[in-house]
Each structure stands twice: as structure tokens, then as C-alpha cells.
Structure 1
Amino acid sequence: MADVPAGRLVDLRARVAEAGFARACAAAGLDLDPEGTPDLVVEHEALFPRLAVSGWLGLAESFMAGEWRSERLVDVLEALISTGYRPQLGGRPLPPRPYGGGELPTELVRLSSGDGLSAFGGVFASGVPTTVRTAVPNHGRGPATHFVDLTTFSAPAAVDREDLGDAQTRAVTMLLDAARVTAGTHLLEYATSGGAVAIQAAHRRATVDTLTADPAQARAVGEQLLLAGVEPSVHVSVIDTPVPGPREWRGSYDAIVSVEKLEMLSEGNRVRYIRALDRLLTIGGYATMQSVTATDALSPVARQALGVLRAYVWPGLDYPTAEDVHRLADRESGLRVIAQTHVGSHHEQSLAMQRSLFEGHTREAAAAGFDIAYRRLWIYQFALREALFRLGMLDTVQFTLTHRNRQGRR
């Protein structure tokens, strides 16, 4: 990011990119006039060679470098994506790369979390659920369709930043309820979500194993468990692979919970992941997972815009559709999705609050060692994901799975 593209050909392409950027902003209704109240301000012309060479990734890197700024960042990104802005002719989305098991730094999560533990989206109390039993296609053997309890939450109303912690706690409560976690339940959490799931489950008097491939995350979660007074009920284990195979982890669990992990895995690791759930879940048990999913509206331009998240935050990021999750379970395991709950509007609100919290803690972030480029990256990624939720291109779904038959696939 420190090296601005240069050269004679780049200079020519940069002039074309500058003109294209001006046209896109005009088409999107964005004001660039510095004499008025501009929607965005270009501080340095280095933006344009970055656009010419790297497209949407260049736009994000230029923001990280401080070469342009906006007080309405979400609105700007939403407008550019909705109008189909393609800064790099012939550009392709940055492909996902293998996920190695690393997690977000716990200090970074704390500065943008309502409960101090969670990086995931919440569910606010003002949302009203509506459930319909719906027939969905069966992608495996057997009948052509099966039934799913499909629940949709209405958009939250009259919420503010102080509600975020409660919303994130409610999201965990819903997952534990769907997995039937009560006193005596043997629960597996993969991967650890910073302690939120394990602490709530321990308060229900469940016995919890939580797995991570990140030793630093394991230490941080151990500290949170100690502070919460639940350390005796929770065992934190470090594994050597992003997805535990039979050699890395064995056991039989009444319930399994996973929060926003599937979308971080490559296609091959998703197969290993669902097979691990199948293998580790006891017959009659329930697995629940919260995942951010792509909708049919997710455009090629939006996929290009997501390249910055793969380049700097989550290398394996690739949002599946809800149907992809059904297909994965039906074809690669003995599990079946029996319920799914859609809370995308709540995740959108969560992201807005997480961004606001982080912007209010930029000094603390600097003191924790996150430099100004990284702080801008963190603000940008919140804004980008919020814009995609606004556009209806992303959704958040809680899936409940159980074995299709008493034998399962062991």
C-alpha cells in the first residue's frame, strides 16, 4: 500500500480512471465540490493510479493512505456499488485464499464490541419474528423436498449504541436455545467466538469445549473465562488446523455452536467442516451456526469491492448463499437444516454501531498499536459491509441442523 503505482502507462490509465471516477460520482449523485458540503474529498491524486491498477482494492487502499475521505462513507460506498462502478476495466474479484485459523486481535474486537467480547452481529429486542414452515429442495438422496421452519425478524426500531451488547448477547442466546443447551449439555464451540458463547453456556451449567487454531485467541479467551468465573466448566483447546479432522479432535457432543465461521473457509474446508459437525454431533443432538450469507442481489461489482477484506482481514472470505448451506449439508453430511432465522437488518444495525464505537475509540486503538492506516481499514470494512447489507446483497442467517436419521453418517 505504501507504493503508489507509477510509470508512463500507469499515468495514462490514471487519467482515464480519474475521468471514470468523476462520471461514476455524478451518476451516483455524489457531490465532489470542495466549496460546498461534498460527499467525499479527494486529498491526493494518488487515488487515480491506484484505481487504474487495482480497482476497488485501490480505492480502499487509497482511503487507508488518507488520499480521500468522507463523512458519509457508507452512503458513498452504497452509491458507487449500486450504480455498478467498475474502476478497473476487466478487473476480477480477488480470489479467496486459504484460511490459516488466525482470529481478529481481541483488543481490536473490544474497541468495537458492545459486550467487549463479540465481533459478530446481534439481534435487537425490538425485532419481531415471523415463522413459516416452508418446503425447500433436498439436494441429497431421498424425497425432493423437506420442511424448514423459516423465521424472519423485522428491522429493529429505536436502538442506539448502548443496545449493541444486549443484541450480541441475544444472538448467542438464540443459538444456544436452538441447540437445546441446558444443564448437563456437552457443548462444542468451533471456532471460539471470544468467550461469549462459552460463558453463556457455562451459566446454563453446560460443559463446554471450545476450539481455536490461534494460540493468542486461546490465551485471551482463557482470561475472559477466568474473569467470568466459569473457567472450571470450559476447556479451551488449540488445534493445528483450521478445521478439526478425526486426528485433531475426537468426541461426541449433544450440541455444537459456530458463529460466523463458515464464510471464512475455502470450499474444500467447508466440506471438512460440515463433515466434522456430522462426526462430532451425537445422534439426536443439534448444531447451530450463524453465518453471513450472499443473496441473489450480490453483484460482480460488490464482489470486487470485497477484495480489500480478503487482502487485509479475512483471506478466505467467500459468502455462501443460504441454498449453498443446504446443499453442503445435504450432499456432504448426514445432517439436514431444519430451521433458519434471518436477521440481516439487525446485523446491518450492528455494523453501524460497531463502526461508531470504533471511531470513538481511535485513540485507544492507536495506543494498542494499530497504526492510522489500519484504523482507517477497520472503519472502511465496517462501512463496506454495512453498505452491502443496506443494498440487500448480504444477509445473516442462523441455521439449525440435526441428523437426518438415527444412524447418521459417522
Structure 2
Amino acid sequence: METTQSPDIVRPYLNRTHTSRSMAQWLFDRMLRRFRRGSLQVEYPDGRILRYGDGLSRAAVMRIFDQAFFPKVVAGGAVAFGDAYVEGYWDSSDLSSVLRVFALNQGDVGLAKRGLSMVHRFANRMHHMRRRNSLSGSRDNIEAHYDLSNDFYSLFLDRSMTYSSGYFDGESGLCLEAAQLQKIERLLDLAGVGPGDWVLEIGSGWGALAIAAARRGAQVKTITLSKEQRDYAMRAVAQAGLSDLVEVALEDYREQDGHYDAVISCEMIEAVGKEYLPSYFETIQRCLRPGGRAVLQAITIPDERYAAYCRSCDWIQKRIFPGGHLPSPSAIKRFVRDTDDLELQASHSFGRDYAETLRRWARRFDEHASEIDALGFDERFRRMWSYYLSYCEAGFDSDMIDVRHVRLEKRH
């Protein structure tokens, strides 16, 4: 027998839903009214258009399509804000500009930036902690991101297949491939790599740095936990005629020994995890000969935000880089100081170059949307990656994160 609910029963539920969404929208509006930097225009589902911020620059435009956006984001904070974009609750024709305004005002939005729900925050933190970078966990975490397919990465990276910040050094007209090769040569120069040197690279990528080091006459061992990267790098090394100078190994950094003149690690420290940073620097110390140099390219988070960052789980950690952790400059100094023989000799930041790198990746990513679909990835995946690239671009542009070259030397 078919049954129906009485309107008198349904109406209070609908009223409560409407009231909770209206309250959430009010809270969201109150949060945005605290913005003091940049300009943001929000087009609400009911047709209203409101502006927030200082009004001194062209407004970034955000369009919200669904009233369900408000309780989701007010409860879940920044992680839910990213998820809401992926799920189509809101959109923008210039996503990075919207995220830049939010990044610039992060210190002004108080509790709302994390969300009001302690349950959400606790669940996100537990999710992150379950993806610790143990020997087995590291392999799983690396495979989750880097083994999506080499064909996928080739659609938006440059021809060198370099997946880290380029180094433009003020040359805005430089093409991305040239900026990447300039970065690689700078890392090798900082490490003093030359003919006959033995080099350990922690984090192979797709082999570009190992090939460049071998072309200088160095003997290189490069390690990765990604099978896709290992296979690609081995082919690239063979095609370059350098197989006698380069070993590509599917190994964890903690398993390394030997004595090298130089250790180079380009944007691998972010995959180590906070609790394993001591073992990372101990490995570098163990593998360097006395007088040897280590050079890192590291994404960092400002010292003043580091303690809060360590207690939380952000959208990138939850959706893109499982087990990821950005150290602060002071944390790097502390872990280096805690080793017996390593000495930090120089550090140079170039965060705006990463913002430019990400802009170019995002442009190429959008241009190749149909090819990405043809590889079997759906619209949700594309929106997630578009958000990731724009999120990071905004972070570097607003100094919420930075990238730096760090040079170390082993004293004895």
C-alpha cells in the first residue's frame, strides 16, 4: 500500500532545512565582510550580487549555484570549500584570482576558515594521520599521485617532464622548458657537480636532473617510489645514451648508504612527513662524503603558520598529496642543526617563480581537457586538478607558501 507523509509533518522539516541554510549563508556573508585585501564579487543563488574587500582592484568573481553550498562550507571550512568547487556547487572564470583573495584574507576570517565543526576538523586530521609515510605507506602515497599515468603528466608539463618549480630569475619571457632547465643547472651548480663526481638524487621525477648531471660527467644514482616514473626515467636515460652513468632505482631514501660527493633532492621533502624529517636529514648526512654538498628544492610554509599547520589537514593533504607535509624554514634549520655534521650554508626563495610555473601548467591543463578525458579521467577529476593548480598558484602569489633552494655541507 502506498503511503504519503502529511504536509504538516514535511513542512517543519523543510522549514528547518531552509532556516539552517539561511543561517549558514548569513555566516558566510559575515565572514566575507571581514575581508580587507583584494576585491571579491559573489553571485548568490537567489540572484543577489555582493562585493567584498577593499574595492581597490578588479573584483574576482565567484558564482554560487546551490544553497547547499553554505552549510557545507560553514561546517567544513577550507577543505569543504575546495570539495564544493569539485562537486560543482560554485565556479569562477578565473579560479586562481578568487582563491588569491581568500588567501590574502586568511588571517581575518577567524574560525570560519577552518569550519565550525570540530567533527570535520578531527575527521580530516585522522584521515591525514592514517596516511603516514612509513616504508609501505610512502610507496602507497607516492603511487596515489605520481602513478596516474605518464601520458597524463605529459599533457601539461614541459618537454623535460619536470614537475617542480621552474627558475625564471626575473626573465618573464622565458619559456617554461628553459626555466626548468635553468633550475636544474642551478641545482647542479649549487651542489658543485662536475666530471667524476658521485651524485645521489632523492626523488627522480622523470629523469631530467639525473640526465643533466650525467652530461656533466657525474655518476648518478637516482631513486623513486613511483614505478611509472622509474620506467619513464630509464627509457629517457637510455635514449640519451647515458645508461652507463645513471642508475634509476625503485628504492626508499631510508634504504640508502654509500658515499657521495653530492646529494640533490628537488621537491621531495614535501613527501617525507613531519615525523620522518629527522630520518631524511640523517640519510643525507650518512650518504655524503666529508666536504660533500646537499642541495634541496623545498616548498615551505611560513614559520608563523607552522604550528597551526602541523595540527591540521588542508585540502591538498586530503585530496592531492596523501601524507604530504610542508616544513617551515626554521624547521629545516632545526633538523639540520640536530644532525652531527650538516651545516646550512645558503637559502634562496623564489615563490613568485612557482606561481608563474603553476599558471603555465594550469593553462596547458585546460587546453588539453579533451585529451585528459580520453585517458579515462572524468570531469570531477579535472575540476579537482584545476582547483589544485589554482590553489597552489594563489598560495605562492600571496606568500602563504614559498619555495627555496637550500644548500648544506657535511663538515667531517
TM-score over 0.5 (shorter chain): yes
Kindly indicate whether the alpha-carbon contact (under 8 Å) linking 1:294 and 1:394 is maintained by their aligned counterparts in 2. Answer: yes
**Does 1:238 find its partner at 2:260?**
no
CA 59–10 in structure 1, closer or farther in 2 if over 3 Å, else same: farther
1:283 to 280, 290, 293: 290
Distance 1:8 1:170, change over 3 A: farther
Q: Which amino acid aligns with 2:203?
A: A
Find 2:207's aligned residue among 182, 195, 205: 195
1:30 to 40, 60, 65: 40
The answer to whether the 8 Å contact 1:109/1:118 transfers is no
Q: Which runs of 5+ in 1 are unaligned?
A: 1-5, 128-155
Residue deviations 1:205-238, cap 9 Å, x none? 2111111122232112222223333233211111
Give the corresponding residue for 1:89: 116
- Structure 1 residues 1-400: aligned runs within 5 Å: 13-28=20-35, 29-33=39-43, 39-84=61-106, 85=109, 86=112, 88-89=115-116, 92=121, 94-95=124-125, 96=128, 97-99=131-133, 100-101=138-139, 102=142, 103-104=145-146, 105=148, 106-124=150-168, 127=169, 156=170, 158-159=172-173, 163-239=175-251, 241=252, 243-244=253-254, 248-296=255-303, 298=305, 307-400=314-407
Distance in 2, matches of 1:47 and 1:317, equals 27
Contact 1:264 1:316 (C-alpha < 8 Å) held by counterparts: yes
**1:85-112 deviations in whole A, cap 9, x for unaligned?**
4251255484444131315233333222
2 CA distance for matches of 1:236 and 1:315?
Answer: 24
Contact 2:76 2:116 in 1 (8 A): no
Is the contact made by 1:57 and 1:305 (CA closer than 8 Å) also made in structure 2? no
The change in CA–CA distance for 1:351 and 1:228 in structure 2 (over 3 A counts) is same
Residue 60 to residue 366, structure 1, CA distance change in 2 (3 Å): same
Name the aligned partner's letter for residue 105 of structure 2. Answer: T
Is the partner of 2:393 in helix, strand or coil? Answer: helix
Three-state SS of the structure 1 residue aligned to 2:97 is helix
**Shift of residue 332, structure 1, vs aligned partner:** 3.0
Q: Percent identity?
A: 25
Offset at residue 7 of structure 1 (A): 11
Paired with 1:89 and 1:364, the residues of 2 have a C-alpha distance of: 40
Higher relative contact order (CA 8 A, sep 6+): 1
Contact 1:43/1:67 (CA < 8 Å) preserved in 2? yes
Deviates more, 1:274-283 or 1:365-374: 365-374
Which one has a larger percent helix, Structure 1 or Structure 2?
2
Amino acid across the alignment from 2:263: I
Q: Aligned in 2, Cα 1:377/1:255: closer, same or farther, shift over 3 Å?
A: same
Q: Which moved more, 1:390-399 or 1:7-16?
A: 7-16
Larger radius of gyration between Structure 1 and Structure 2: 2
Contact 2:300/2:403 (<8 A) preserved? yes
Task: Note the residue ranges of structure 2 that are not aligned, 5 or more in a row.
Answer: 1-12, 50-58
- The change in CA–CA distance for 1:231 and 1:20 in structure 2 (over 3 A counts) is farther
Q: Number of aligned pairs?
A: 363
Aligned counterparts of 2:310 and 2:65: Cα–Cα separation in 1: 27
